[in-house]
A and B are shown apart, each in its own frame.
Chain A
């Protein structure tokens, strides 16, 4: 098996919009080629994490080695690289695509091409992939094969006349997909006798095996016992185990050119495995490295704080564990007067943020408060210095700021034309600049440039609701531009509540300031003392609300001599105060912050 010639290997990934059936198709391919017994088949084999199964998304790349006897009588090794579909994980996608020569483009025959599909297809084209269109769900009454074929040709510019028409759910025509992989995708190239060159695609930490590296061999052979060298870091390790996923882990003696698999090599931490690095033989090294990957850069930051201050240590440990398997997210300690000790965390996007937060809650059993997401601003000081700002609370005084640049994105939105008007209005409200507007049948594709901070502010939800869920959205970062940005501070009895401050364009500052003051007024219960809530830009108050003191709070009857009970009640009241945050004379329940932050800041 390990001596499969490259001519009998096909490496491919599957590109699909969420819900278009990628995981179901993958399951069918595994089933049909006998990778797992029927008993081992659980639904959506590749999505290991509960979150992936529930949301129907893939977060981490995975590989599966399929053995297929083709119609030509030959046996082929088909390596499936499962990739994330969401824009936040575009970085993972590009890595995965670099390890393959071709892709299946899966499109729902009733839904058609969606925005997210586009970005990934373009990445595949950029990676010089051969692309085989697959129309899925053709068994559905709403399926419109000719229309969707036309759409693939019009929107993506791919010839869809030979598209494979299947139903992954019923298993219809799946063998044709396998056959198309063999006949239509190119075989990988590579020299088995050249010095070893393997691309490190991904790595993760397994509690039994330690660090596992996912690799694609380009030249030479990767063997058990071999001493390898990471070309970028220079570190060398003896290879302990070589193997493939079927999707079960199966140990092998070696991996040759064109093959994909894993190695373990007594590597202590994931940080020692630089994704995109080239692995070579320590004694017979290659001279040049494979092209690596651009490092991932977090674009959205937010503070994560434990609701119970005693959970801080647990949060730190949990973030550390998550980071072992997800080098793309960053965290640094942060202290907030309102929320106590926590971490400022950087994410690839909003979905990434949501997923990490959910994993912390679910897998590590943590109750967390997340502050409003913020993008990374570039502050240009009057003294010529430039700095990146991850946290609105850290924004320097206006007098030392010359100007601020904010990140922009290029967004593609596909929407049925009855909802187009509302979508365009939303984009314009959010300071969007229209780049392109095209129609495919009754669907429009609007391309807009938008400031990212307008998108992290409640954009997805609005888009979904105004299009009744029909709009699909995708974006790519599109540089920085100067913006008229101000920091809005929220003050409770004249004391700033750091966790609630945010940066916004001057044109919307007042509206948003008023809105958050209004929300806080409803969320903070009346107290012994009057509470003033203000939103301010610098020293200028732009919105104000007052919560009057509570009018009456006294036990009517205190009699019978049972003072112990009264004392216990007082103790309970005092215990409750531990969950409050003190602002001058005012104590705000953490739940009020939680609610204020939940409501899209």
Chain B
């Protein structure tokens, strides 16, 4: 039976963060009942066309999924378990914001079946939290982490670094504090200016500057060093975990396995009878719900992905992983050999420069290669 990772998008936030380009909306009153009903209907719709699947993970992302009622989360998990064959060790993650967390809600999510929580801490420094537009303070963040550790078997949190004027020493300091709070997984992202965000406008106006590529590289190297001292290793470009503690859901993306995405703005890659399809739901929550209510699904795009594009996507995602791409799995998934998908001259140049390694089993980017992966991909991928 083919595996499936399930992504459920909750598109609401209390406020829009200035760096965030995810599909999130601020509403005076969130229409919980309507949204949950639509999610349930869309889940059933998706299950009907996917057929029997081994469900390996569920991920509640957003937006701010910790704004969902724990009872609603329980309903959706129960639906998923009923529609698919959940693996015994299924990973069920919910993203949470330190502001919307209190002990009661956390217990509620745990009781609903969530066994992993990912907290959007972003920083442990007040000035940075203010700059990033976060509504919580460092104290709330620490409290949320500690609470999460008591309640959930697995927990991760996010930090954003390479912020304007952030020094190497400051970051090491902040990161060490974070590592002392962490369990066995952390997501450590360098700040990226995404088009269309408030930061994009402010950055273009010159209100702040980001570290140059050299400082960015130094910060990245320092991050790896500090995390390693706490036993967390970079299994993906921005994700650090102890062995076995990797996010199984995110691994499904990076390994280019099937994942279904439901909810406003969610993306999916699903194998149907006539091939692999890219799916995309309408971004506006109310329009999405209308569509679901009318047609069973809020999908606005269902595009077949050609073998060549599958190969390209598998490369884009797979080389982010430390372990790289399993060549046999790549061929089985895309129907193409890796050599049909990459430029051989660029491969040779990247191997010579120490950016890529390739043997009979796998193709992977070295630590140096992962730091420059966008440029590597630009020359490598056909």
Contact = CB atoms under 8 A, between A and B. Distances in A.
Interface of A: 526-529, 549-564, 566-567, 570, 573-574, 577, 585
A188 B137 CA distance: 98
B316 A553 contact: no
8 contacts: A551-B213, A554-B373, A560-B7, A560-B61, A561-B268, A564-B278, A566-B313, A585-B349
Nearest to B253: A561
Nearest to A573: B378
Contacts of A555: 192, 237, 373-374
Interface stretch (B28-36, B80-88, B214-222): B214-222
A563 B313 contact: yes
Nearest to B365: A554
A334 B191 CA distance: 47
A552 B216 contact: yes
Contact of B22 (A551, A560, A574): A560
B261 interface: yes
A139 B269 CA distance: 82
A557 B158 CA distance: 11
A561 B259 contact: yes
A559 B250 contact: yes
Given A529-B349, A567-B312, A557 B355 contact: no
B373 A553 contact: yes
A528 B379 contact: yes
Contact of B312 (A529, A557, A562, A570): A570
Contacts of B22: 560
Contacts of A554: 237, 370-374
Interface in B171-212: 189-192
A576 to B, nearest CB: 9
B24 to A, nearest CB: 11
Contacts of A551: 213-214, 216-218, 371-372
Nearest to B218: A551
Given A528-B355, A553-B375, A561 B213 contact: no
Q: Report which residue of B350, B353, B379 has the largest number of chain A beta carbons within 10 angstroms of its beta carbon.
A: B379
Interface in B361-382: 370-379, 381
Contacts of A577: 378
Contacts of B255: none
A556 B189 contact: yes
Contacts of B253: 559, 561, 563
Given A526-B213, A529-B349, A529-B353, A553 B309 contact: no
B378 A570 contact: yes
Nearest to A569: B374
Nearest to A584: B349
B229 to A, nearest CB: 22
Contact of B237 (A527, A550, A556, A566): A556
A553 B267 contact: no
Interface in B287-335: 309, 312-313, 316-317, 320
Contacts of B189: 556-557
A393 to B, nearest CB: 26
B90 to A, nearest CB: 18
Contacts of A561: 7, 253, 259, 261, 266-269
Given A557-B189, A557-B238, A562 B374 contact: no
B134 interface: no
A531 to B, nearest CB: 12
A577 B280 CA distance: 29
A570 B238 contact: no
Nearest to B319: A554
B347 to A, nearest CB: 12
